[in-house]
């Protein structure tokens, strides 16, 4: 036992992300990948394509993942954790299936996955697990024997994710004009999703309306707001609001939208707002367009001072948190009982998504969960 490395039984870490276009010619094929079979109106797609073209057809997300990948490799090596780190995406190169094929060829048998999504939801969790199942099925059909793949627990409430957001909120408050800072409201933002998807998210029991998705975001918002109050000595009103809605208008999605919210609080006399995108791991297009471009223009039109807090990105504390989560999970898999760090009221999330967690409209195979065909057979080997 004691001669095992701290990362045993895992032999590789996989960074699994969304992917984004890297030039104007990538934008349309990227959006086709994202929206295949999802019934997003054409009008919305044309509009979102324009967001990317506004930035030269390049999403910042791939460079941000390259930076995170390099930081993870450096941090693991510096701490004597000899675990190779790979990167694959759902919607753009390097594609997940190609990365897993490469990992199979390199002889990896137990892979742990970090997704760039911290919370429970179909889009942020199960859909990635479906992507893993699809990739494993493809490799199996090619006659390969792919590794067993597990997924790290949701890390929304890990101190290494939360603390950088506290500092980022305080820094964003610092960028407001002096005379409006004390009265500024905090608007915590995340991706809107259909209310039906929110209600069914996580193991939904005990979370009430909005399921685990809303409960987890509220817990983080409350924790960050309390820490900001403690550190600045000023109690500021806060709200959880939504952004980046898509889908047909007659289907209810989580509200209010950040732009409507800015209008409302401006009408109520708020002197300023700090937007804090707690739902996102890096400053990708949903942040740089939807908040920095669209919501910021809305605020300017209202004459409302706003700033936006940075996301965690490759903050060393987040990178260290990933190492902590990897070693924690490895220890759990070895039958040990490691300490499981978590701030807020909800406690550490489950390691293995239970059966039926974050259900899809049409059930499909999903890896790395209690209902996974791939995880089970391999676990006995
Ligand atoms: C919860 C959630 C996260 C956070 C968790 C996570 O990070 O996973 C997230 C992240 C992201 N979403 C992104 C981009 C897009 N999301 C879309 C569409 C959708 N997102 C949804 C949800 C989420 N999305 C949903 C319910 C849809 C409707 C269609 C569907 O049910 O699938 C569309 C289609 C056009 C549109 O309708 O907007 C695009 C282009 C990018 C890349 C940004 C970049 O390029 O830098 C990132 C990181
Ligand atoms: Fe999205």
Higher per-residue confidence, 314 vs 43: 314
Instruction: Decide: 217 in ligand 1 pocket, CB within 6 A.
Output: no
CA 8–ligand 1 middle distance (angstroms) = 34
Higher per-residue confidence, 203 vs 374: 203
- In the predicted model, what is the mean pLDDT of the chain? 95
The answer to whether the annotation marks 155 as part of a ligand binding site is no
Nearest residue (by CA) to ligand 1, atom 9, is 191
Asked if 366 and 372 count as a contact pair (C-beta separation under 8 A), the reply is yes
* Band (36; pLDDT cuts 50, 70, 90): confident
The answer to whether the annotation marks 286 as part of a ligand binding site is yes
CA 275–ligand 1 middle distance (angstroms) = 19
Instruction: Decide: 138 in ligand 1 pocket, CB within 6 A.
Output: no
Tell me the residue length of the chain.
Answer: 381
Q: What is the predicted pLDDT for the residue at 107? A: 98
Angstrom distance (rounded) from CA 57 to CA 31: 11
Token duo for residue 93: 């190169």
Q: What is the predicted pLDDT for the residue at 374? A: 60
Nearest residue (by CA) to ligand 1, atom 14, is 286
Q: What is the predicted pLDDT for the residue at 2? A: 59
**CA nearest to 220, candidates 163, 264, 135:** 163
The answer to whether the annotation marks 191 as part of a ligand binding site is yes
- Ligand 1 atom closest to the Cα of residue 284 is 46
The residue written with tokens 């190609």 in the block is 98
Asked if 326 and 169 count as a contact pair (C-beta separation under 8 A), the reply is no
| CA dihedral over 21, 104, 117, 70, signed as positive or negative | negative
Instruction: Decide: 21 in ligand 1 pocket, CB within 6 A.
Output: no
Asked if 353 and 368 count as a contact pair (C-beta separation under 8 A), the reply is yes
Average pLDDT score over residue span 182-202: 97
Does the domain formed by 159-308 have CATH 3.90.1170.30?
no
Q: What is the predicted pLDDT for the residue at 37? A: 79
pLDDT per residue as tens digits for the range 262-288: 999 999 999 999 999 999 999 999 999
Average pLDDT score over residue span 320-324: 98
* Band (326; pLDDT cuts 50, 70, 90): very high
For the chain, domain boundaries: 12-155+315-379, 159-308
Instruction: Decide: 126 in ligand 1 pocket, CB within 6 A.
Output: no
Please say if the pLDDT value at position 38 is more than 90.
no
Q: What is the predicted pLDDT for the residue at 381? A: 32
pLDDT per residue as tens digits for the range 101-142: 999 999 999 999 999 999 999 999 999 999 999 999 999 999
Nearest residue (by CA) to ligand 1, atom 12, is 286
* Band (380; pLDDT cuts 50, 70, 90): very low
Q: In what order do the strands lie in the sheet with 238-243?
A: 238-243, 185-191, 273-276, 306-308
Please say if the pLDDT value at position 377 is more than 50.
no
Instruction: Decide: 344 in ligand 1 pocket, CB within 6 A.
Output: no
pLDDT per residue as tens digits for the range 193-210: 999 999 999 987 889 899
Nearest residue (by CA) to ligand 1, atom 30, is 38
* Band (45; pLDDT cuts 50, 70, 90): confident
Its pTM surpasses 0.90: yes
Angstrom distance (rounded) from CA 232 to CA 298: 27
Q: What would you report as the CA-atom Rg of the chain, rounded to the nearest whole angstrom?
A: 21
Angstrom distance (rounded) from CA 160 to CA 277: 16
Higher per-residue confidence, 207 vs 100: 100
- Ligand 1 atom closest to the Cα of residue 288 is 46
CATH number assigned to the domain covering 12-155+315-379: 3.40.50.1400
Which range is least confidently modeled, 64-73, 123-132, 239-248? Answer: 239-248
Q: What is the predicted pLDDT for the residue at 376? A: 46
CA 80–ligand 2 middle distance (angstroms) = 36
């Amino acid at each position: 036992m004691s001669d095992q490395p701290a990362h045993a039984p895992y032999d590789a870490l996989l960074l699994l992300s969304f992917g984004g276009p890297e030039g104007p010619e990538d934008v349309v094929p990227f959006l086709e990948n994202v929206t295949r079979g999802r019934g997003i109106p054409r009008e919305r797609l044309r509009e979102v394509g324009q967001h990317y073209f506004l930035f030269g057809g390049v999403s910042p997300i791939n460079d941000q993942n390259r930076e995170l990948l390099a930081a993870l490799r450096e941090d693991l090596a510096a701490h004597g954790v000899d675990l190779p780190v790979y990167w694959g995406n759902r919607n753009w190169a390097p594609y997940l299936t190609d990365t897993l094929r490469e990992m199979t060829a390199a002889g990896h048998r137990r892979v742990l996955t970090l997704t760039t999504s911290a919370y429970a939801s179909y889009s942020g969790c199960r859909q990635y697990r479906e992507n893993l199942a699809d990739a494993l099925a493809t490799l199996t059909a090619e006659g390969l024997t792919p590794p067993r793949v597990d997924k790290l627990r949701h890390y929304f409430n890990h101190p290494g994710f939360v603390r950088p957001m506290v500092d980022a909120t305080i820094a964003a408050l610092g960028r407001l004009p002096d005379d409006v800072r004390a009265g500024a409201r905090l608007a915590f933002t995340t991706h809107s999703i259909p209310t039906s998807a929110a209600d069914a998210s996580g193991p939904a029991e005990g979370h009430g309306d909005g399921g685990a998705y809303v409960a987890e975001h509220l817990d983080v918002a409350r924790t960050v707001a309390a820490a900001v109050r403690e550190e600045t000595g000023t109690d500021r009103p806060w709200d959880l609001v939504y952004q980046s809605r898509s889908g047909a208008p007659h289907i209810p999605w989580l509200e209010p939208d950040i732009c409507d919210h800015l209008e409302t609080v401006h009408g109520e006399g708020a002197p300023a707002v700090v937007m804090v995108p707690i739902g996102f791991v890096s400053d990708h297009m949903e942040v740089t367009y939807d908040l920095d471009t669209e919501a910021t223009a809305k605020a300017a039109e209202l004459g409302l001072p706003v700033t936006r807090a940075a996301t965690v990105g490759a903050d060393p504390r987040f990178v260290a948190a990933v190492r902590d989560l990897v070693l924690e999970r490895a220890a759990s898999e070895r039958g040990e009982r490691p300490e499981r760090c978590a701030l807020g009221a909800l406690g550490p999330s489950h390691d293995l998504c239970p059966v039926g967690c974050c259900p899809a409209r049409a059930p499909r195979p999903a890896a790395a969960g209690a209902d996974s065909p791939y995880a089970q057979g391999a676990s006995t080997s």
